[in-house]
Amino acid sequence: MRLWDLVVTANRNLTRSKLRTLLTILAIFVGGFTLTLTTALNTGASQYLQRQLGNASVPGVFEVLPKTDLNPFATGVQKYDPNKKAGSLQNALTASMDQSDVDKLSKVQGVDTVSPYYTLQPEYISVDGGDKYQITTLSQNYGLNLDLASGRLLKDNDKDSAILSEEYLQPLGLNAQNAVGRQINIGYKNTHGKLAEKKITVVGVMRKTFIVQNQVFVDVDTAKELADAQGQGSRYMVVFVKFANVNDQTDEGALKERLQSVGNYTAVSIKERIGTIVTIVGAVTASLSVVGIIALLAASFGIINTLLMSVYERTKEVGLMKALGMHRRTVFGVFAIEAALVGFWGSAIAVLAAAGVSELINQYAAANFLKDFEGFTLLVVDPTVAAFVILLIMLIAFLAGTLPAIKASRLDPIEALRSE
């Protein structure tokens, strides 16, 4: 028999015991539905993280900070070492870098720029002498392609420029369109403890996110000016190093070793930072996927039971087919394909149902708990992933059906015809 004829015959055989087949398909459905939703959650979260944290493929940008053995978070009782300072949080935070570190890192082969990350302590933000609002974080951006609602990213030659988070728009009486090009006032205290203001032009508006909240990014020159005014311009906890002529195929591990070889430094690439967060999200959704896999394994026993009952009920039929010359491989193929078809129908219905449920959940989420996070689609059923889920379930079903299929193919035709 041709393969297509085997498929048609196997599919027709599934209708002989409709209730038993339906119950087995429902068991497959539960596992497939759970697995599809968990993969959809992983896809949706990963896509959002990539947009919010930047393009993970941006290569050659590293955070470099001083390596220290002061660990205020170490657990257990530590043996006293007179050659080391006490591992208090205060001591750990005092590990810093200065211009000599910048000069040293600038001489590393292939380095394009070395930019200190200044510690800035803003007081408030306002527009045109209006109400003043607290500003949570004022910082610089290195290596992240921020998800913008309008405007552009900061450039290396920008001065007195900023990217404003959407959270500040409504309080300041602005919107994503008219904010670009407007001047904002950043209040801060100088080294004498007196309030001062810095006028900065908005060049872009960043979409609201639960990852980076209430943040304002400024250009490097402005950050240095404010840090100097606050007496924080000569020491910094982190510097950002950017290598020239780097692409996705470049070995970032080798670049990291270059940086760490010139001093007592720890280097972490921006790609690693983003990858760590994505990995955490993946680990959470993977643990949820285990529930679906367990349900599928349980359903596989249902497939075995269904087909074994089918073999028992069709013993005479199988004996007659073999007596008329049907090959063992053909008998095996009919029952094995039946199992795969049970997996196909169960998984296909599960994927379609999960896609429909995902759409309903996304609409509810967008109107409620995710309404402030534009562009965050909670559940994304990717067609490629959905096809993989269907094929995986069909494979599990096929393997589950091999035992009954082998039993059917080994039936002796004479004994089978004699059976009651």
12: left (phi over 0), alpha (psi -120 to 50) or beta: alpha
Rounded to two decimals, the pTM is 0.65
The confidence band for 73, taking pLDDT boundaries of 50, 70 and 90, is very low
User: pLDDT class for 103, splitting at 50, 70, 90?
Assistant: very high
Q: Where are the domains of the chain?
A: 3-54+277-418, 61-269
Contacts within 8 Å (CB) and 24+ apart, 384-391: 385/39, 385/40, 385/43, 386/36, 386/351, 386/355, 389/32, 389/35, 389/36, 389/39, 389/347, 389/350, 389/351, 390/32, 390/344, 390/347, 390/348, 390/351
pLDDT, one tens digit per residue, over 155-164 is: 888 999 999 9
- The predicted pLDDT at position 5 comes to 85
Tell me the mean pLDDT in the region 351-359.
96
Using alpha carbons, list the distances in angstroms from residue 193 to 121, 196, 198, 259: 12, 9, 15, 38
pLDDT of residue 93 exceeding 50, the answer is no
Q: What band does 140 get if pLDDT is binned at 50, 70 and 90? A: confident
Give the mean model confidence (pLDDT) for residues 271-283: 73
Mean pLDDT of 121-130: 90
Q: Calculate mean pLDDT across residues 345-357.
A: 95
pLDDT at 188 over 90: yes
64: β partners: 239, 267
With 0-12 / 13-18 / 19 or more C-beta atoms within 10 angstroms meaning exposed / middle / buried, residue 193 is: exposed
**Chain-centre distance for alpha carbon 352:** 23
Residue 296, φ and ψ in degrees, nearest 5: -65, -40
Residue pair 369/318 in contact (Cβ under 8 Å)? The answer is no
pLDDT in tens, 375-403: 788 899 999 999 999 999 999 999 999 98
SS (H, E, C) the chain: CCHHHHHHHHHHHCCCCHHHHHHHHHHHHHHHHHHHHHHHHHHHHHHHHHHHHCCCCCCCEEEEEECCCCCCCCCCCCCCCCCCCCCCHHHHHCCCECHHHHHHHHCCCCEEEEEEECCCCEEEEECCCCCCECCCEEECCCCCCCCEEEECCCCCCCCCEEEEEHHHCCCCCCCCCCCCCCEEEEEEECCCCCEEEEEEEEEEEECCCCCCCCEEEECHHHHHHHHHHCCCCCCECEEEEEECCCCCCCCHHHHHHHHHHCCCEEEEEHHHHHHHHHHHHHHHHHHHHHHHHHHHHHHHHHHHHHHHHHHHHCHHHHHHHHHCCCCHHHHHHHHHHHHHHHHHHHHHHHHHHHHHHHHHHHHHHHHCCCCCCCCCCCCCCCHHHHHHHHHHHHHHHHHHHHHHHHHHHCCCHHHHHHCC
Question: For the residues 273-297, what does the mean pLDDT come to?
Answer: 76
Q: Which of 192-206, 229-243, 323-337 has maximum average pLDDT? A: 192-206
pLDDT score at 87:
47
pLDDT at residue number 57:
52
Structure tokens at 184: 């904002």
Amino acid at the residue 115: S
29-67 per-position pLDDT tens digit: 999 999 999 889 888 887 877 766 655 456 788 999 887
Tell me how far CA of residue 18 lies from CA of 13, 92, 118, 209, in angstroms: 10, 69, 70, 50
Mean pLDDT of 230-248: 87
**Mean pLDDT, the chain, as a whole number?**
84
Q: How confident is the model at residue 128 (pLDDT cuts 50, 70, 90)?
A: confident
Q: What percent of the chain has pLDDT over 90?
A: 39
CA–CA dist 217, 165 (Å, integer): 9
Question: Please, which residues have CB within 8 angstroms of residue 323's CB and are 6 or more apart in sequence?
Answer: 413, 414, 417
Confidence of residue 308 (pLDDT cuts 50, 70, 90): confident
Model confidence band, residue 341 (pLDDT cutoffs 50, 70, 90): very high
Cβ-based neighbour number of residue 216 at 10 Å: 23
In this prediction, residues 248-262 reach a mean pLDDT of: 89
> Higher confidence at residue 59 or residue 198?
198
